[in-house]
Structure 1
Amino acid sequence: MDHVEALLIGGRAGVGKTTVGWEVTAQLAAAGVAHAYIEGDMIGQVHPAPADDPDRVHITERTLAAIWDNYARLGCRRLVYPRTVSVLPEYGEMIQRALTGEVRLIRVLLTASDATAVDRLTRREQGSRLEAELQTTAQKAPMLEARASSGTIRVSTDDRSVIEIAKEVMAASGWLE
């Protein structure tokens, strides 16, 4: 394979992006499929935000490019990339720039009801971030639904096991065929 494929797993807080992403990597590893995993929501976390980059888009792009360069040198051509906004057109463009060359993007938007997201966040957030996460997730869900790139595959996570969800996400990638 001379091109790169990136499986972008987007969705609101509490939908299960990280958990599903880790299960996807477990399924890929079990099948002997070479890949890399980069947690997109974490690689731009710097405080304070750079003055010329208040949304941390440029630092995220530079960090992704640097990490990917190391993985590409090892022969990686597939990336599993969970990030809240990864399914938006502008973030797809940023990811294509960071990975360089011919890049095929596979976009999956994980969805969950408000009740499911609130339940998961309440169990997950043990510190001072709970209220902020609850507010943000309520705002992000409709925005992601409305602005997701065309061709984005939607996968519901309500009342489903992580293994089942990851299998559906993997089917979207075609990497096990």
Structure 2
Amino acid sequence: MRSEVLFIGGRSGVGKSTAALALHDLLVAADVRHAVIEGDLLDLAHPAPHVEHPDVHLAERNLATMWSGFRGLGHRRLVYTNTVSVLEHRRLAAAMGDDPLVTAVLLRADDRTTADRLARRAGGALPQAQLAHSTRTAGRLDAASPDTVTRVDTAGLTPAQVAAQLASITGRLPG
């Protein structure tokens, strides 16, 4: 059975991780075997590995290792979240090593929605520099993502509603 991967990308505060957890719950309820990997953590270090070692793609290396472990246990479905995964989905899929069926989704939300979510996550006031960075990232992701990447607006949706849309988009997961 060929593996399947759903790459979920988007700006900070758009709801990638929350939607992935809601999708996890949906899949568990349907007894669908799967794994969830939070890609932002695969190369989170100081100093940043990509700065000190620009030729080393640590996130891809770590994804390959983790997916090999899941695949060895019989998993064939992966939900992967990372801000820029929609721009790097071909390289990330190649790192999985088993030619997966790929679905890439860019989550989007307006600045007000994103600012509210980021402020809640921060437990208070949101630094304007953080919102400005998130806004720039949103523009870059939307402009640079190919037409094959599905765009989903998350403003006004609950995590469960976003998860249901993600499941429906793949056409292979219950939704």
TM-score, structure 1 as length reference? 0.90
Aligned pair in 2 of structure 1 residues 25, 67: CA closer, same or farther (>3 Å)?
Answer: same
Kindly state the Cα deviation for residue 24 of structure 1 after the two structures are TM-superposed: 0.5
**Cα pair distance change 1:150/1:70, threshold 3 Å:** same
| Structure 2 partner of 1:141 | 138
- 2:157 corresponds in structure 1 to 160
Quote how far apart the aligned CAs of 1:129 are.
8.5
Q: Which residue among 113, 118, 122 is the counterpart of 1:116?
A: 113
Q: What is the distance in 1 between the residues matched to 2:54 and 2:95?
A: 16
Q: Tell me, yes or no, if the aligned pair for 2:37 and 2:81 is still in contact at 8 Å.
A: yes
2:31 alignment partner in structure 1: 32
Partner in structure 1 of residue 62 of structure 2: 63
Asked if 2 retains the 8 angstrom alpha-carbon contact of 1:121 and 1:130, the reply is no
TM-superposed deviation, 1:130:
4.3
The answer to whether the Cα contact below 8 Å between 2:119 and 2:126 also exists between their aligned partners in 1 is no
Shift of residue 93, structure 1, vs aligned partner: 2.2
* Corresponding position: 1:96 with 2:93: yes
Percent identical across equivalent pairs?
40
Give the conservation status (yes or no) of the 8 Å contact 1:34–1:78. Answer: yes
Distance in 2 of aligned mates of 1:67 and 1:93: 17
The CA RMSD over aligned residues, in Å, is 2.0
CA contact (8 A) 1:53 1:59 kept: no
Q: How many residues align?
A: 172
Counterpart secondary structure, 1:81:
strand
AA matched with 1:8: F
Unaligned runs of 5+ in 1: none
Shift of 1:53: 2.4
TM-score by length of 2: 0.91
Which residue identity lines up with residue 86 of structure 1 in the other structure? S
Q: 2:174 aligns with which of 151, 173, 176?
A: 176
Structure 2: where are the runs of 5+ without partners? none
The structural deviation recorded for 1:146 is: 0.6
2: CA distance between counterparts of 1:167 and 1:4?
21
SS where residue 104 of structure 2 aligns?
A: strand
Q: Which 4+ residue blocks in structure 1 deviate beyond 6 angstroms? A: none
